[in-house]
A and B are shown apart, each in its own frame.
Chain A
Amino acid sequence: MLWFAFLRLIGLLTTLLAASLVIFVVLEVIPGDPAEVMLGLNVQPDTLAALRTELGLNAPVPTRYVNWLLGMLQGEFGISYTYSVPVSELIGERIQVSLPLATGALVLSTIIAIPIGVYSARHHGKLIDTGIMSVTQVGIAIPNFWIAILLVYVFAIVLRVLPAGGFPGWDVSFSGSLQALLLPVIALALPQASILARVMRSALLDVLHEDYIRTARAKGLSGKATLWRHGVRNALIPVLTILGLQFSFLIAGTVIIENLFYLPGLGRLIFQGITQRDLIVVKSSVMLLVALTIFVTFLVDIAYAAIDPRLRRRA
């Protein structure tokens, strides 16, 4: 198991390096000059030259790549062109919002989805199963911003129990920050939970047709005991795959929800970076997202192996 984790870790680092190379090549080398892209048309030649020197664009390409990598290892991501502050500070602030948001939504959707999926599979074919499946179908179909608007209307405008938007910051008000994240977390979690519940249900139904379920029943185990002891853990593999994908989506794909609730998250930072052609912010944020995604994939792989002993040998 440890050996397996070690091999996966090496795989992770290699992937990370490859990803950094791709990002660097796409944003810096082709096509033309990052400084020109950032400054736009009608730029004075001396401004361009100044920016080129500031960005270190005069150095040869391999040197620039190595410098960028080394900088990131020391936590230096460069200075944002539009905000004139270090990118590391910008990202550091934003991740304080995005990470709890994504993790919260993920945990909430899992807590909702797994029991519903198991319950639905257990009552497969009955009215309650059909009902749950219709509800989850609707949950997938409704966009999360619509759920968000609905939540804001009910909890912020009618009931006035939760803020409609904004984020005070963890050091200013911890409970206020929690409250500020609650509605967006729910809005993000509900559609994800619908997907997850359906995956859980169908995975469990597949498992329930396996021979070892019959063996367990032949041992004398009741239907319920069989389901929990032999069914659920075996059905978790596809669920984990979806969870991994969902986290990657939640960490950066939440720009609409962030805008709706005026949350200073990563999604918004990248969006602003792109609209303002701040390549330094974009490059670093993208690298960070890639790293997070690869890390989550690594965790999912480890979890696979923890669940299924057959996967431990192969690396």
Chain B
Amino acid sequence: MTSVFSATDLCVSIAGKPILRNVSFNLDQGKILGLVGESGSGKSMSALSAMQLLPEGANQTGDLMFEGKNLTCAADTEMTHVRGKDISMVFQEPLTALNPIRTIGEQVAEGLCWHQGLSRKEARDQAIDVLERVGLGLEYGLTDRFPHQLSGGQRQRVVIAIAIACKPRVLIADEPTTALDVTVQAQILTLLKDIVCKEQMAMLLISHDLAVVADMADNVAIMKDGVIVERGPTCELFDNLSHPYSRKLFAASSYMPVPRQHPVDEITQPLLKVNNVLREYPLPRASVFARRQWHRAVQHVSFHIAPRQSIGLVGESGCGKSTLARTILGLTPPNAGHIQFLGKDPYLVSRKDRQDLQLGIQAVFQDPYGSFDPRHTVERTVGEPLHLMRNELSHPERKKRVHKVLESVGLSSTDASKYPHEFSGGQRQRIAIARALVTDPSLIVADEPVSALDVSIRAQILDLFADLRDRLGMAYLFISHDLSVVQAITDRVIVMNAGRIVEEGPTGEVFSNPRHPYTRILVSAAPDLKETLRRRRKKENKDTH
């Protein structure tokens, strides 16, 4: 097998800090190499280094060979003839990867004009063909539209179209599906696999998701702190993981915290009752005389949460999960229907009663860093919800309470005087949880609380949620697009699609035996590492016999 592209002993350092150490890999024609690792492991730097697009001030040594040509010493002008023509790249965030003020057609055609010297008209015609190859045929009429008018999946197809427009020999995909919903992810992955197979490209697939890599890649390399710690053909590698880090990663990716210790009491009065809630948003009018159209984000949704119960809410982006969460948190009143928390409707009671109710429901959000004021100390951030108690607590009592919750989420009371930027991602999410716990709530609404975290940290945070559930008797509304997370921590699950609840039931039952077609699609699209490996082994056995 001849390698189309090879990197040998790649070392990269930025401002004296080593980022990559002796990284070597080969990309073979028609094959996919999966590169996995957690954030900061140097995956993306390997990709940028292969493209010679490292950030300013980066220092690189080692050899990059493309079809017998050494790219390491190539000048930037030389690289402009290689990038996009021989080696292309697909990026993670399809919204920001596209120029917002240029049409899709222009952006796909640009590379064709640049490399093949086509006229605008010719390039445009070819761009239409390329868009068709990624499943965006003329019937979508996208050529003259702008990125913001497309869905996330369509945008990622456009990014792929830009990358494959000049039929490159090597395709580098850096987390190509991380920002997408599971069903869209499945489509994009199939598309990438088809392209690689049909056009016999060599592909480097970078992902933090072991299941995605196990499904796609022929060979896998596992990376940690800028070093490839282990590599091999996919099935073989996953069957005999020898490096402790790889084993840890493998265990963490399908981690399940301890099951519930105390049974849920569903007979007494429910903690939260959501009754026939409807929430609409006005859409912009088509003209002054047109009737205003409304977008129904949440349509007649009813469910309840018992004390100490943990409920999962799953669905894809735009299905109304977060709107529902906002309504429950008392932030957006429903247009119809009502909610009851501890027997009272927060939108109907007096201001004082509402504050008391708010003490009982607290929230944890996806991006902990974004939900902190960077100029507030941890103590101030965590203690902030206490203002709801008006002045019942004296200053020392407040302080004591903050220190207590910090300890109960696994931080120390000395952390109270620090600022958010001094903490790692996982610690920040612990701070966010501490902030939710400080008022002694009985229900925590967690909106994608572990989506932004690496798998090993995700496992720790899931443990923390399980521990709080058993120790403090916390009830959860756990909102996530990630089925494995919901499976790990919830008793019951609600599946939402287009603002409606399509299925509801005990978590294990719903996932093992989904009844609604949408749930089935969702479950089958969700990548599952063990299931994927089992399927692959079966196929490989069949091939050898």
Cβ of B192 under 8 Å from chain A: no
- Which A96-136 residues sit within 8 Å CB-CB of chain B? 125
Residue from B53, B77, B99, B163 within 8 A of A217 (CB atoms): B53
Q: Which residues of B contact A214 (CB under 8 A)?
A: 53, 91, 97
The answer, yes or no, to whether A160 is at the interface (CB within 8 Å) is no
Residues of chain B with a CB closer than 8 A to A309's CB: 100-101, 146, 148
Within 8 A of A (CB), among B116-150: 146, 148
Using A233-B101, A310-B146 as known contacts, say yes or no to A211 and B89 having CB atoms under 8 A apart: no
Q: Bound complex: CA of A211 vs CA of B97, how far in Å?
A: 5
Residues of B within 8 A of A234 (CB): 99-101
Chain A residue, CB-CB nearest to B172 = A218
Stretch at the interface among B107-115, B213-221, B466-474, B497-505: B107-115
Q: How far is the CA of A215 from the CA of B163 in the complex (A)?
A: 9
Taking a contact as CB atoms under 8 Å apart, the answer to whether B111 and A308 are in contact is: no
Dominant secondary structure at the B interface: loop
CB-nearest residue of chain B relative to A308? B101
Q: Bound state CA distance, A171 and B330, in angstroms?
A: 70
Residues of A within 8 A of B51 (CB): 218
Q: Is A212 an interface residue (CB 8 A)?
A: yes
Query: If A309-B146, A309-B148, A310-B146 touch, does A222 touch B98 (CB 8 Å cutoff)?
Result: no
Is the CB–CB distance between B76 and A223 below 8 Å? yes
Q: From known contacts A225-B114, A308-B101, infer whether A219 and B81 are also in contact, taking CB-CB under 8 Å.
A: no
| Residues of chain A within 8 A of B89, CB atoms compared | 218
A220 in contact (CB, < 8 A): yes
Q: Is the Cβ of B284 less than 8 Å from the Cβ of A314?
A: yes
* B83-110 CB contacts (< 8 Å) to partner A: 83-85, 88-89, 91, 93, 96-102, 110
B496 proximal to A (CB < 8 A): no
User: How many Å lie between the Cα of A229 and that of B101 in the bound state?
Assistant: 11
B111 engages A222 (CB within 8 Å) = no
- The smallest beta-carbon distance between B174 and chain A, in angstroms, is 10
With A222-B76, A313-B284 given, is the CB distance from A215 to B85 under 8 Å? no
Complex formed: what's the CA distance from A308 to B99 in Å? 10
Does A216 belong to the interface (CB within 8 Å)? yes
Q: A66 → chain B, closest Cβ, in Å?
A: 27
Residue of B nearest to A229 (CB): B110
Q: How far is the CB of A153 from chain B (nearest CB, A)?
A: 44
A314 — which chain B residues lie within 8 A by C-beta? 284
Nearest CB of B to A210, in Å: 6
Tell me if A307 counts as interface (CB < 8 A to partner B): yes
Cβ-defined partner of A211 (8 Å) among B85, B96, B115 = B96
Q: Which residues from B are CB-within-8-Å of A17?
A: none
Asked whether B53 lies within 8 Å of A218 as measured between CB atoms, the reply is yes
Q: Is B287 an interface residue (CB 8 A)?
A: yes
Q: Does B162 touch A at the CB level, under 8 Å? A: yes
Q: Which A238-295 residues have C-beta < 8 A from chain B?
A: none
Task: Decide yes or no: A220 and B102 within 8 Å by CB, A211-B96, A309-B148, A313-B284 being known contacts.
Answer: no
Q: In the bound complex, do residue B162 and residue A215 qualify as a contact, i.e. CB atoms below 8 Å apart? A: yes
A133 to B89, CA, bound (A): 36
A221 at the interface (CB under 8 A from B): yes
B80 at the interface (CB under 8 A from A): yes
**A219 adjacent to B162 (CB under 8 Å):** yes
Assuming the contacts A220-B83, A234-B100, A308-B101, asked whether A215 and B91 have C-beta atoms less than 8 A apart, the reply is yes
How far, in Å, is B283 (CB) from chain A's closest CB? 11
Closest to A3 in B: B287
If A214-B91, A229-B110, A307-B101 touch, whether A220 touches B115 (CB-CB below 8 Å) is: yes
Whether the Cβ atoms of B98 and A215 lie closer than 8 Å is yes
B82 within 8 A of A: yes
Find out whether the CB atom of B83 lies under 8 angstroms from the CB atom of A219.
Answer: yes
Per the bound structure, the CA–CA distance linking A210 and B98 in Å amounts to: 9
- Contact among B56, B91, B96, B111 with A220 in the assembled complex (CB-CB below 8 Å): B111
Return chain A residues, CB-CB under 8 Å to B53: 214, 217-218
B85 proximity list for chain A (CB < 8 A): 220
Distance in angstroms from A237 CB to nearest chain B CB is: 10
Partner of B97, one of A125, A215, A222, A307: A215
Minimum CB–CB distance for A206 against chain B, Å: 13
Q: Does B159 contact A (CB under 8 A)?
A: yes
A21–B98 alpha-carbon span in the complex (Å)? 46
Question: What separation, in Å, do the CA atoms of A234 and B76 have in the docked complex?
Answer: 24
* Docked pose: A73 CA to B48 CA in angstroms: 63
Q: How far is the CA of A26 from the CA of B53 in the complex (A)?
A: 60
Do residues B162 and A211 form an inter-chain contact, with CB atoms below 8 A? no
Q: How far is the CA of A234 from the CA of B159 in the complex (A)?
A: 19
Q: Of residues 317 to 358 in B, which have CB atoms within 8 Å of A's CB atoms?
A: none
In angstroms, Cα B115 to Cα A309, docked, is: 28
Q: Are B77 and A218 in contact (CB under 8 A)?
A: no
Pair B115/A212 contact, Cβ less than 8 Å:
no
Given known contacts A214-B91, A229-B110, is B84 in contact with A219 (CB within 8 Å)?
yes
Asked whether B76 lies within 8 Å of A218 as measured between CB atoms, the reply is no
Task: Say yes or no: A221 contacts B91, CB within 8 Å.
Answer: no
Could you tell me the distance between the alpha carbons of A214 and B54 in the complex, rounded to whole angstroms?
A: 10
Q: Among residues 5 to 25 in chain B, which have CB atoms less than 8 Å away from a CB atom of chain A?
A: none
Q: Name A212's contact: one of B76, B97, B148 (CB within 8 Å).
A: B97
CB A15 to nearest CB in B, in angstroms, measures 19
Name the B residues within 8 Å of A216 (CB-CB): 99, 110
Residues A230 and B83 in contact, CB atoms below 8 Å apart: no
Please, which residues of chain A bring their CB within 8 A of the CB of B100?
Answer: 212, 234, 308-310
16 A–B pairs (Cβ distance < 8 Å), ordered by A: A212-B97, A218-B51, A219-B114, A220-B82, A220-B85, A220-B114, A220-B166, A221-B84, A222-B77, A225-B114, A233-B101, A234-B100, A234-B101, A309-B100, A310-B100, A310-B146
> Chain B interface (Cβ within 8 Å of chain A)?
51, 53, 56, 76-77, 80-85, 88-89, 91, 93, 96-102, 110-111, 114-115, 146, 148, 159, 162-163, 166, 284, 287
- Besides A220-B82, A308-B100, 11 other CB < 8 A contacts? A210-B96, A212-B100, A214-B91, A215-B97, A215-B98, A215-B162, A220-B84, A220-B114, A307-B101, A309-B100, A314-B284
Q: Enumerate the 8 nearest inter-chain pairs by beta-carbon distance, A residue then B residue, closest first.
A: A220-B84, A211-B96, A219-B84, A219-B111, A220-B83, A212-B99, A218-B89, A309-B146
